């Protein structure tokens, strides 16, 4: 039997990569003063339909539960966030700086390599409508990418402003019910021939294309870039009014992060949604907000293609699994003494393994190496002395058994993890 | 709108408790040389039915997906583990020491306080049939409980052996197809009146009750206790032949952990299942195995009721959210200078927050305290000097702005997290 199509098994090596990504997401978030939350993986179907209408409905992983209730595996976090904020925001000082690391689901016709689940970091500032909140949030996004080992030559955050376009459209005498449609054409313009975009824009083609060619000026985005410059992060960002993001609910600054080579889909994306929480909570909570999301799949591909990021990831993966010591039992008569030392080291929080059943000494050392142990501690003919081998330097030392624990705790052979 | 019945929202304070539990599960597992894996949250329904038949079927959170496939949200990890091991075990040295921290689901008629999801640590040793693997696994379980702050007066692991009962039943001339039924009566005996158990046991009542009263001898369990004694863990364990665990697939040692006061359900439980992987993998992999599971809900209740464990948990929760510094902007003219310092400290991996918009100084200090900041760094009238206040000792110091970063990095006011 296999995993269901579109679902991943995480063997230990895959799980370690996932843990590294999660750890970076959490570490950088906390550096910026964000706190973690989570919601249920399954929600009432209505919650998701309310936000996105039928647009998302087609890809929803929804079903009817045994009680006849229409439910869905979450496709995104914002509806759950809005629901939780509506219920609890009075207990929290504003702005609320919240992040989470949820798994998301979608159901669509399977194509090769398309997944039905992924993990998606979400980060939101709720209760502050100012431009500095925009700067702070985009700074998290940039610093997140930096923390994985990417530089300004590798990635770029393209920043735009829905308000700019709304003001433009208002000046064009276009009925308001056609705005969203025009924004969607602009959103797609980069991936379509110029003539097709022009044809779809009709009378608006000339002024819009002029803006997309760099002819637009936004004082707000200028201030936003100044804010990033002040933090030394401006080289990671660029103003690009061609970014509008398809979703209807964005109200201000929007942005997307890409690899500079544009080989992959967007790594991250987000924007300001000042009306959405009120809408999703039926007015229970009316709070401005800005947020972004970053998935594990595109990020993972990007890391695999970048030597520095890959090396950083591999080092972290090795650190996660490395043992402090492997206890080699060369004489079965010494098993009891060996296990006592195994336990004593574990009691001091060191990571220690040993052979559960009689095993050839050569294989035990091989195992110690494969497990990335710092030291091998050999119980054998030398008893009551114990041989300690530093597996990095290959240095060996004979230590009297009564001094062994003190020696190992003081030794550079073990990591600084234990105490 | 609310979360679905039986599903939990994790507000930041709840999420921090969950993260603490997960961190302990991972930390102790790695100390014992276990590596983490994970599987899909959704599996083919057949995978679960194959193991447990209709017994579990009633509580399965199963449904039909949009493609007409019968699937289920995982109720337990072992079937997924067996599936993954069957596919990949040739790439791994035995024994495989694997753990995971998955979320599990069940569907049953809602009762007050009953959840439809919980998190359940799973820990398995695969590919070793010896008693020392049993000792190692039970040692993980005990050390896990110790790591949360419980002592031998608080919790006990009751250990039994299915083989003991199978040998007993074989000696009783009872048809083999009635063994499982008898084991289930023994399993329930503790929670039922003695007369009822006796009636259900029929002719077996006398010898069985004698064993349950302490009249049974198991040489194997004696050796197992010796192994725990060698590790200094025996006081946490007791031989108790009344434990048989209901499930049919256990083949040897079985155990359950309880609070000594017996106020709660089992905290953890597991046992040896030497035939199950072969059965679930249709013989693709034939590997002996022993494993156990521990859920987050009973554990959480136990922590709440134990002063020491609760204090340990609360300290960890405070550590997770604590800030190194809160930058107070007393004069808006200094905002730019302040933000440059915020960013410089974050670049050194410190956790730093500051007010995104103009805020009264008193409220900023209040915020700093609430966020558990170690230090407040005040940009105001003292410029070009900056006031640094240690929020634990209340000591204040004026530092020239050009020396500020060096001062803070060297200062005991900040945690040792950054560099």
Q: Which helix (H) or strand (E) holds B347?
A: helix B335-347
Task: Note whether A257 and A157 are within 8 A (CB).
Answer: yes
B38 in Cβ contact with A15 (< 8 Å): yes
Residue of B nearest to A349 (CA): B31
Say whether residue B325 is in contact with chain A using an 8 A CB cutoff.
no
Specify the long-range contacts of residues A171-177, CB closer than 8 Å, at least 24 apart. A172/A204, A172/A207, A174/A204
Assess contact for B345 and B415: CB atoms under 8 A: no
* Nearest chain B alpha carbon to A321: B35
Residues of chain B with pLDDT under 50: 419
Task: Say whether the peptide bond before residue A369 is cis (omega within 30 degrees of 0).
Answer: no
Going by DSSP bridges, is the β-strand pair A289-295/A155-161 parallel, antiparallel, or unpaired? unpaired
Q: Are B415 and B391 in contact (CB under 8 A)?
A: no
Asked if B336 has any chain A CB less than 8 Å from its own CB, the reply is yes
Phi, psi of A163 (to 5 degrees): -60, -35
Which segments of B243-295 does DSSP mark as H helices, in order? 276-280
SS3 B77: coil
B-interface mutation test, from A23, A28, A33, most B Cβ less than 10 A away: A33
Over residues B246-267, the pLDDT tens digits come to 777 899 999 999 999 999 999 9
- Contact: B10, A39; criterion CB under 8 Å: yes
Scan residues 346-385 of B and list those with Cβ closer than 8 Å to A: 346-347, 349-353, 356-357, 367, 370-371
- Which tokens in the block code for residue A37? 């939350």
Contacts of B223 in chain A (CB under 8 A): none
Q: Given CB atoms, is A40 within the 8 Å cutoff of chain B? A: yes
Asked if omega into B95 is within 30° of 0 (cis), the reply is yes
- For residue A95, whether the previous peptide bond is cis, meaning omega lies within 30 degrees of 0, is yes
Question: Could you tell me if residue A189 is left (phi over 0), alpha (psi between -120 and 50 degrees) or otherwise beta?
Answer: alpha
Torsion on CA atoms B30, B32, B33, B38, rounded to nearest 10 = -50
| C-beta atoms of B93 and A367 within 8 A | yes
User: Touching check for B240 and chain A: CB below 8 Å?
Assistant: no
pLDDT score, position B351? 95
Distances (CA, A) of A29 to A26, A313, B346, B352: 5, 18, 10, 10
The answer, for B318 touching chain A at a CB cutoff of 8 Å, is no
- Encoding tokens for residue B251? 């083949």
Return the structure tokens found at A170. 């208002």
Strands A103-105 and A117-126: antiparallel
Most distant CA atoms of chain A, gap in Å: 93
CB B85 within 8 A of CB B96: yes
Helix-, strand-, coil-residue percentages of chain B, each rounded to 5: 45, 20, 35
> Among A37, A130, A136, whose Cβ lies nearest the Cβ of B15?
A37
Helix/strand/coil (H, E, C) string of chain A? CCCCCCCCCECHHHHHHHHHHHHHHHHHHHHCCCEECECCCEEEHHHHHHHHCHHHHCCCEEEECCCCCEEEECCCCHHHHHHHHHHHHHHCCCCEEEEECCEEECCCCCCCCCCCEEEEEEEEEECCCCHHHHHHHHHHHHHHHHHCCCCCCCEEEEEEEHHHHHHHHHCCCCCHHHHHHHHHHHHHHCCCCHHHHHHHHHHHHHHHHHHHHHHCCCHHHHHHHHHHHHCCCHHHEEECCCCCCCCCCCCCEEEEEEECCCCCCCCEEEEECCCHHHHHCCCCCCCCEEEEEEEHHHHHHHHHCCHHHHHHHHHHHHHHHCCCEEEEECCHHHHHHHHHHHHHHHHCCCCEECCCCCCCHHHHHHHHHHCCCCEEEEECCCCCEEEEEECCCCCEEEEEHHHHHHHHHHCCCCCCCCC
Task: Calculate the CA A89 to chain-centre distance.
Answer: 25
A156 vs chain B: nearest CA distance in angstroms?
A: 19
Angstrom distance (rounded) from CA B377 to CA B330: 10
Sign of the torsion angle spanned by Cα atoms A81, A84, A86, A88: negative
Rounded-to-10 torsion of CA B259, B261, B265, B270: 40
* Inter-chain touch B356–A103, beta carbons under 8 Å: no
Torsion of CA B244, B248, B250, B256, to 10 degrees: -40
Task: For chain B, say whether A139 makes contact (Cβ under 8 Å).
Answer: yes
Contact yes or no for A85/A285 (Cβ under 8 A): yes
Q: How far apart are CA B100 and CA A269, in angstroms?
A: 31
Looking at chain B, how many residues does it have?
419
Distances in Å between the Cα of A115 and the Cα atoms of A3, A93, A307, B299 are 12, 38, 25, 34
CA A20, CA A278: separation in Å to the nearest integer? 36
What span, in angstroms and rounded, lies between the C-alpha atoms of B410 and B370?
24
Which of A21, A42, A127, A348 should we substitute to test contact with B (largest number of B Cβ atoms within 10 Å)?
A42
Cβ contacts of A64 on chain B, cutoff 8 Å: 63
Q: What is the pLDDT of residues A348-401, one digit of tens each?
A: 999 999 999 999 999 999 999 999 999 999 999 999 999 999 999 999 999 999
Query: What DSSP string runs through B59-74?
Result: T-EEEE-TTS-EEEE-
Distance CA B65, CA B143 (A): 41
Q: Given CB atoms, is A279 within the 8 Å cutoff of chain B?
A: no
| B40 in contact with chain A, both atoms CB, cutoff 8 A | yes
d(CA A93, CA A115): 38
Taking only the tens of pLDDT, chain A with its 419 residues reads: 799 999 999 999 999 999 999 999 999 999 999 999 999 999 999 999 877 655 566 789 999 999 999 999 999 999 999 999 999 999 999 999 999 999 999 998 767 668 999 999 999 999 999 999 999 999 999 999 999 999 999 999 999 999 999 999 999 988 888 888 899 899 889 889 999 999 999 999 999 999 999 888 899 999 999 999 999 999 999 999 999 887 778 999 999 999 999 989 999 999 999 999 999 888 889 999 999 999 999 999 999 999 999 999 999 999 988 999 999 999 999 999 999 999 999 999 999 999 999 999 999 999 999 999 999 999 999 999 999 999 999 999 999 999 999 998 887 667 766 54
- Across the interface, which of A35, A343, A353 has its CB nearest the CB of B231? A343
Predicted TM-score (pTM) of the model is 0.96
Where do we find the tokens 């008693």? B131
Closest partner CB to B71 (pick from A4, A62, A370): A4
Among B60, B56, B80, B67, residue whose Cα is nearest residue A1: B80
**Cα distance between residue A6 and residue B50, in whole Å:** 22
Domains of chain B: 12-316 (3.30.930.10), 323-410 (3.40.50.800)
Give me the pLDDT at residue B419, please.
44
| Segment holding B384, helix H or strand E | none
Q: Do B40 and A117 touch (CB under 8 A)?
A: yes
All residues at 6 or more sequence positions from A58 whose CB lies less than 8 Å from its CB, including other chains: A108
What's residue B409's pLDDT? 83
Which H helix or E strand runs over B26? helix B12-31
Q: CB neighbours (10 Å) of residue B148?
A: 25
| Interatomic CA distance for residues A357 and A363, integer angstroms | 12
- For A:79-108, CB contacts with B below 8 A are 80, 83-84, 86-88, 93, 95, 97-98, 100, 103, 107
A283 touches B: beta carbon within 8 Å: no
Own/partner pairs for A5-9, CB < 8 Å, 24+ apart?
A5/A110, A5/A116, A6/A110, A6/A114, A6/A115, A6/A116, A6/A117, A7/A115, A7/A116, A7/A117, A7/B40, A7/B41, A7/B42, A8/A115, A8/A117, A8/B40, A9/B37, A9/B38, A9/B39, A9/B40, A9/B80, A9/B84, A9/B87
Q: Do A7 and B42 touch (CB under 8 A)?
A: yes
User: b vs e for B115-146, b when ≥16 Cβ sit within 10 Å of the residue's Cβ?
Assistant: bbbbbbbbbbbbbbbebbbbbbbbbbbbbbbb
Q: How far is A289 from chain B (nearest CA, A)?
A: 13
CB contact (8 A) between residue A10 and residue B39: yes
Helix (H) or strand (E) holding B198: helix B194-201
Number of A–B residue contacts, CB under 8 Å: 217
pLDDT at B122: 98
Q: With the C-alpha atoms ordered B255, B195, B56, B119, is the resulting torsion angle positive or negative?
A: negative
Cis peptide, bond prior to residue B384, ω within 30 of zero: yes
Given A37, A47, A107, which is nearest B10 (Cβ)?
A37
State the Rg of chain B over Cα: 28
Q: Three-class SS of residue B264?
A: coil
């Amino acid at each position: 039997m296999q995993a269901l199509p579109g679902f991943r098994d995480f063997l230990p090596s895959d799980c370690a990569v996932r843990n590294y990504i999660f750890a970076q997401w959490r570490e950088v978030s906390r550096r910026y003063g964000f706190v973690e939350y989570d919601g249920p993986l399954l929600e009432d179907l209505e919650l998701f339909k309310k936000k996105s209408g039928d647009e998302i409905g087609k890809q929803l992983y929804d079903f009817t539960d045994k009680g006849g209730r229409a439910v869905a595996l979450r496709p995104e976090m914002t509806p759950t966030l809005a629901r939780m904020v509506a219920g609890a925001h009075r207990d929290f000082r504003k702005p609320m700086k919240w992040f989470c690391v949820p798994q998301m689901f979608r159901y669509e016709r399977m194509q090769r390599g398309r997944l039905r689940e992924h993990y998606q970091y979400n980060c939101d500032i709720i209760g502050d409508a100012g431009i500095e909140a925009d700067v702070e949030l985009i700074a998290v996004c940039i610093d997140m990418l930096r923390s994985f080992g990417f530089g300004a030559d590798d990635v770029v955050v393209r920043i735009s402003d829905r308000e700019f376009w709304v003001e433009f459209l208002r000046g064009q005498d276009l009925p308001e019910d056609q705005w969203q449609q025009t924004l969607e054409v602009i959103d797609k313009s980069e991936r379509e021939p110029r003539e097709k975009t022009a044809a779809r824009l009709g009378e608006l083609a000339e002024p819009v294309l002029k803006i997309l060619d760099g002819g637009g000026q936004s004082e707000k985005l200028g201030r936003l870039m100044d804010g990033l410059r002040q933090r030394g992060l401006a080289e990671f960002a660029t103003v690009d009014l061609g970014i509008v993001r398809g979703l209807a609910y964005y109200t201000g600054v929007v942005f997307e992060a890409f690899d500079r080579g544009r080989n992959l889909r967007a790594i991250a994306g987000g924007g300001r949604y000042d009306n959405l929480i009120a809408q999703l909570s039926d007015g229970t909570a009316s709070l401005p907000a800005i947020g972004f999301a970053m998935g594990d799949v595109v990020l993972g591909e990007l890391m695999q293609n970048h030597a520095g990021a890959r090396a950083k990831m591999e080092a972290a993966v090795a650190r996660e699994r490395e043992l402090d010591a492997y206890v080699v039992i060369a004489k079965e008569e010494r098993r009891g003494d060996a296990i006592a030392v195994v336990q004593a080291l574990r009691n001091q929080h060191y990571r220690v393994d040993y052979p559960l059943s009689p095993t050839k000494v050569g294989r035990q050392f091989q195992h110690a190496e494969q497990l990335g142990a710092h030291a091998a501690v050999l119980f054998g003919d030398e008893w009551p002395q114990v041989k300690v081998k530093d597996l990095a330097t290959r240095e060996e030392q004979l230590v009297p058994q009564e001094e062994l624990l003190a020696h190992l705790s003081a030794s550079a052979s073990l990591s600084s993890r234990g105490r």
